[in-house]
């Protein structure tokens, strides 16, 4: 039991990992001995992140494979390149997501709603379908979906995004039931507000930030590195009896502060 968080020899795909939460997860996984695949839409951003990880942990620890999560062909290439470089996929982290609309759901266009559902739910389904068969054959593997506390709460401005994140929870539960007999686990992480470019509109303005954090016990938002530990746990031997669950990492915002 001394190696509960050891990922030596494991290969990990992390989408949306050239910055923010995904980058922090990739760095943490590499620190624990994993080989990591950096992926986002822009190859140069992926190359930069992979180079930094290789400089710290040794050449070949990370590779960079650009992929647009809305493209099934791009995702298949991502999986193929991972297998070519590392021989297998042990852990999949579905982190990339999009939210092209802020406002009441009555104002969202069909195109915007479809994009949210496609990028935040359907693309995860595709990628899992591509990676799961080999995990099931080996009877070992971990699939991690980065959802959001938005999937547990309501919003008047990011309602469609919240719908997609709630769907991710159910995707994990369904697949956990299907894959469990073969030892493959599927879990979600549900971050609260984290200081990333993706959430910049919610924390950059001091007044908005104060409003957002006043009901949070820790009175602050999180940093990307504070989500990475949850991902390492879900990928590692420490969590081999955990599946179909959502780890809430939100500074207590979903419990509030009471009276």
- Quick one: which of 161, 160, 167 has its CA closest to 145? 167
Averaged confidence pLDDT in the chain: 95
Rounded average pLDDT over 11-36: 98
- The phi, psi pair for 141, rounded to 5°, reads 160, 160
Question: Would you state the pLDDT for residue 222?
Answer: 94
* Rounded Cα–Cα distance for residues 15 and 65 (Å): 10
- Nearest residue to 254 via CA among 222, 224, 229: 222
Contact 240, 181 (CB under 8 A): no
CA distance 46 to 31: 18
pLDDT at residue 80, rounded to an integer? 98
Q: Tokens 């479809």 sit at which residue? A: 114
Q: What percent of the chain has pLDDT over 70?
A: 99
| Span 164-182, average pLDDT | 98
242-252 burial, b if ≥16 CB within 10 A, otherwise e? ebbbbbbbbbe
Q: Which residues are catalytic?
A: 161
Could you report the per-residue pLDDT of 133-167, keeping only the tens digit for each? 999 999 999 999 999 999 999 999 999 999 999 99
Query: How many Cα atoms occupy the beta-carbon half-sphere of 254 within 13 Å?
Result: 15
- Report pLDDT digits (tens) over 212-222: 899 899 999 99
| Per-residue model confidence as pLDDT tens digits over 73-108 | 999 999 999 999 999 999 999 999 999 999 999 999
Longest dimension (CA), the chain: 56
Q: Are 20 and 225 in contact (CB under 8 A)?
A: no
| Per-residue pLDDT tens over the stretch 114-136 | 999 999 999 999 999 999 999 99
**In this structure, what DSSP letter does residue 197 have?**
S
CA nearest neighbour of 146 among 191, 84, 210: 191
Domains of the chain, start order: 11-248 (3.40.50.720)
Q: What is the pLDDT of residues 224-249, one digit of tens each?
A: 999 999 999 999 999 999 999 999 99
């Amino acid at each position: 039991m001394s190696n509960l968080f050891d990922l030596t020899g494991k290969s990990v795909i992390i989408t949306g990992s050239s910055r923010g939460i995904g980058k922090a997860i990739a760095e943490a996984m590499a620190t624990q001995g994993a080989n990591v695949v950096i992926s986002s839409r822009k190859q140069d951003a992926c190359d930069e992140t992979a180079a930094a990880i290789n400089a710290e942990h040794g050449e070949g620890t990370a590779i960079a494979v650009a992929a647009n999560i809305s493209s099934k062909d791009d995702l298949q290439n991502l999986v193929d390149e991972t297998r070519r470089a590392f021989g297998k996929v042990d852990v999949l982290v579905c982190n990339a997501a999009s939210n092209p609309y802020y406002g009441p759901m009555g104002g969202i266009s069909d195109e915007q709603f479809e994009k949210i559902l496609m990028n935040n739910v359907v693309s995860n389904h595709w990628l899992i379908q591509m990676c799961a068969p080999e995990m099931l054959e080996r009877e070992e593997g971990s699939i991690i979906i980065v959802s959001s506390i938005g999937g547990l709460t309501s919003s008047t401005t990011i309602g469609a995004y919240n719908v997609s994140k709630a769907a991710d929870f159910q995707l994990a539960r369904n697949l956990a039931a299907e894959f469990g007999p073969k030892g493959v686990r599927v879990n979600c992480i549900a971050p609260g507000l984290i200081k990333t470019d993706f959430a910049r509109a919610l924390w950059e303005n001091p007044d908005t930030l104060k409003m957002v954090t006043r009901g949070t016990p820790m009175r602050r938002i999180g940093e990307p590195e504070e989500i990475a530990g949850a991902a390492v746990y879900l990928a590692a031997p420490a969590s081999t009896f955990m599946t179909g669950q959502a780890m809430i990492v939100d500074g207590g915002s979903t419990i509030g502060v009471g009276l």
